[in-house]
Amino acid sequence: MKTPSALPEFQRYQLAFTAHIRDPKSHPRPAGVEARRMKIYNALLYNNIEGFLLACFPVLRQVLGARKWAKLVRAFFSTHRSRTPYFRQIPDEFVQFLQNEWTPPEGYPPYLLALAHYEWIELVLSVSNRSLDRAVDAAGDLLDGVPLLNPVLANLRYDWPVQRIAPRRKVVPMETCLLVFRDAEDAVQFSEINAFTARLLTLLEPGTLSGNAALQTIASESRHPDPALVVQAGGTLLDDLRARGAILGTAQ
């Protein structure tokens, strides 16, 4: 790859132009560009990026406040190199930036990444085109048969109660399991679940175990003194998950 000094003049100019747009404080305005026009370019591109992020991360913006939010967006805009040309995937790139490239300065909340991921997952599921490639018996027996999960579903675990985070609300670390899925009306549903439900969903996700086998596994793992009771309670839970749309039925 050529060094900047070895590039043709027009390419060096382009690099200087875009570097200034990404980070005006660190890179001077290229010679020959009117300050007023450059300011318009800067504002237009930054505001476009921020607009896509605001649409996906409204709670994060509220929690951080205007100044910290602006610093975070500027850090993303100035340093991250996106791997997609699609505007809709800017929030995806933002989450990758938080996960892999950004070290939170002092004063930023420790739950920032968890909250961002929680807000982002709604977008992911709302635009997902995943579908089952197996025939489904919507009325099948969920204990004897193999339950099939909604393909547009996320079984999440966080170290923070992300669904309760809000401006000026104190939160403490807490293991939190959440079930998120897109229902038959294309609405994304969120609900807090316990560790039992989270484990059951994990066992059922591959689509190979019967409901009874999955519940027997949980009973064995927990060394429950009455496995039949676990299966009975689990059967009720399976029916509830199907009624809500998290389980579509059983494999035919």
Q: How confident is residue 224, by pLDDT bands cut at 50, 70 and 90? A: very high
User: Residue 194: is its pLDDT beyond 70?
Assistant: yes
pTM for this model (two decimals): 0.87
Domains and CATH numbers, the chain: 1-127 (1.10.150.690), 132-252 (3.90.930.50)
**Long-range contacts from 107-113, C-beta under 8 angstroms, 24+ separation:** 107/68, 108/64, 108/68, 108/72, 109/63, 109/64, 110/160, 111/159, 111/160, 111/162, 111/165, 111/171, 112/60, 112/64
Residues 143-190 have pLDDT tens digits of 999 999 999 999 999 999 999 999 999 999 999 999 999 999 999 999
DSSP strand E in the chain: where?
A: 136-137, 147-149, 153-158, 176-182, 188-193, 247-251
Segment 76-92 shows an average pLDDT of 88
Q: Quick one: residue 32, left, alpha or beta (phi over 0 = left, psi -120 to 50 = alpha)?
A: left
What's the confidence (pLDDT) of residue 4?
60
Neighbours of 52 (CB within 10 A): 16
